[in-house]
Amino acid sequence: MSKRRNILITGGAGFIGSHVVRLFVTKYPEYHIINLDNLTYAGNLANLKDIEDCENYTFIKADIADLETMRRVVRDYKIDGIIHLAAESHVDRSIKDPFTFARTNVMGTLSLLQAAREYWESLPERYEGKLFYHISTDEVYGALELTAPEGIESPFTTSASSEHHQAYGEDFFVETTKYNPHSPYSASKASSDHFVRAYHDTYGMPTVVTNCSNNYGPYQFPEKLIPLFINNIRKRKPLPVYGKGENVRDWLYVEDHARAIDMIFHTGKVAETYNIGGFNEWKNIDIIRVIIKTVDRLLGNPEGYSDELITFVTDRAGHDLRYAIDSRKLQRELGWEPSLQFEEGIEKTVRWYLDNQEWMDNITSGNYEKYYEEMYGNR
């Protein structure tokens, strides 16, 4: 497409958002990409150093819950597409402070929807050529049971996802699975999803919602399992495993998520929901062992050297047992599938964190230790 489009990406200084911004800025020089982010503790402009001087890129520091500012940005930049990622994203923080999650994830999304609606409805062409694309999570569907005996291969594993090929139950989240969120985080994301669909059904706004599984890869804030554990192994600090480490997550390399977002933004059907996932389920304790093994090998430590850092701690309240996404609709209708084998993705990820220690050290100096202690106590 050669037409210049003004695309607002929210949360672009965060983990997934920075990969989406980088992809759009480099792949579509004809688009103007406006990255709007409030730079909370999770937002980091160092994630975008390599593209910050690009001619088709603008950064705006603003709060999505500030309706007046959202109105002004959408109007001044003549926005015709929105990819909305800005959110409070960490489950443990939502347990401590649910109000911040309601404010940003619910009121922030609503402010953005309202600003877009007012601007687009004021134009002669109204909603033609416009799209509000909302990025959501598999956590809105609740939790699945662990029913499969160990060693069962995933019936849906694609050749590209993993050599691991394990499913831990017969059930998967599909696009029609009833919402059943358990944490304040997932409740706030579920609420925002409902508002997005309501703006389509009530006002005719062209919207799309996608629900994705756990992402991993470079630039993830080290409060999330994988970067936290890589950093703790490097610093020989305890690895806090919640409960017995039996919970199952479905892991997708972040660039594969960004590619899916690109594809859905350009070719997805309005008012549809697409699930995005890697058919790549792991029990936490198993993925932790892979991380330990990979970090030890890359640091030249003897095999098993960091196993002693594993520390079982009190479980997360309301900890969802298993997430597993069935992403066959996206594969069937738009031809997307994960490009990386998990084994390759985790190797790339561990290498990236070890090669970018300055990025990690900049984050974990300053207030990080204080935040961490306030959140988790002195583990």
Residue nearest to ligand DAU (CB): 137
Is residue 225 at the binding interface for ligand DAU, with CB under 6 A as the rule?
Answer: yes
Is residue 323 at the binding interface for ligand DAU, with CB under 6 A as the rule?
Answer: yes
The residue ranges that bind ligand NAD (CB under 6 A) are 11, 13-17, 37-40, 42-43, 63-65, 85-89, 104, 108, 135, 137, 189, 212, 214-215, 221
Return the one option of ligand NAD, ligand DAU, none that residue 205 interacts with (CB less than 5 to 8 A, by type): none
- Using CB under 6 A, which of 98, 169, 204, 240 touches ligand DAU? 240
Return the one option of ligand DAU, ligand NAD, none that residue 108 interacts with (CB less than 5 to 8 A, by type): ligand NAD
Is residue 228 at the binding interface for ligand DAU, with CB under 6 A as the rule?
Answer: yes
Instruction: Calculate the alpha carbon distances from 312 to 61, 91, 251, 345 in Å.
Output: 39, 19, 22, 26
Q: Name which of 102 and 148 has its Cβ closer to ligand NAD.
A: 102
Return the one option of ligand NAD, ligand DAU, none that residue 249 interacts with (CB less than 5 to 8 A, by type): ligand DAU
What does the alpha-carbon distance between residue 219 and residue 372 come to, in Å, rounded to a whole number?
18
What does the alpha-carbon distance between residue 74 and residue 57 come to, in Å, rounded to a whole number?
15
What does the alpha-carbon distance between residue 33 and residue 194 come to, in Å, rounded to a whole number?
26
CB neighbourhood size of 22 (10 A): 21
CB 212 within 8 A of CB 173: no
Pick the stretch among 46-54, 85-93, 143-151, 366-374 that binds ligand DAU (CB under 6 A): 85-93
Residue nearest to ligand NAD (CB): 14
Cα angle: 310, vertex 150, 214; to 5 degrees: 60
What does the alpha-carbon distance between residue 309 and residue 233 come to, in Å, rounded to a whole number?
7
- Using CB under 6 A, which of 284, 294, 306, 349 touches ligand DAU? 284
Residue linked to tokens 């409030």: 38
Question: Which DSSP category does 305 fall into?
Answer: T
Return the one option of ligand NAD, ligand DAU, none that residue 323 interacts with (CB less than 5 to 8 A, by type): ligand DAU
Is residue 232 at the binding interface for ligand DAU, with CB under 6 A as the rule?
Answer: no
What does the alpha-carbon distance between residue 186 and residue 193 come to, in Å, rounded to a whole number?
10
Active site residues: 138-139, 185
Pick the stretch among 27-35, 89-97, 101-109, 111-119 that binds ligand DAU (CB under 6 A): 89-97
CB neighbourhood size of 1 (10 A): 8
Return the one option of ligand DAU, ligand NAD, none that residue 217 interacts with (CB less than 5 to 8 A, by type): none
What does the alpha-carbon distance between residue 153 and residue 280 come to, in Å, rounded to a whole number?
10
What does the alpha-carbon distance between residue 291 and residue 241 come to, in Å, rounded to a whole number?
13
Subset of 167-206 contacting ligand DAU (CB under 6 A): none
Q: Name which of 168 and 216 has its Cβ closer to ligand NAD.
A: 216
CB 258 within 8 A of CB 19: yes
The tokens describing 118, both together, are: 């007012």
- Residues lying near ligand DAU in the complex (CB under 6 A) are found at 89-91, 137-139, 213-214, 224-225, 228, 240-242, 247, 249, 284, 316, 323
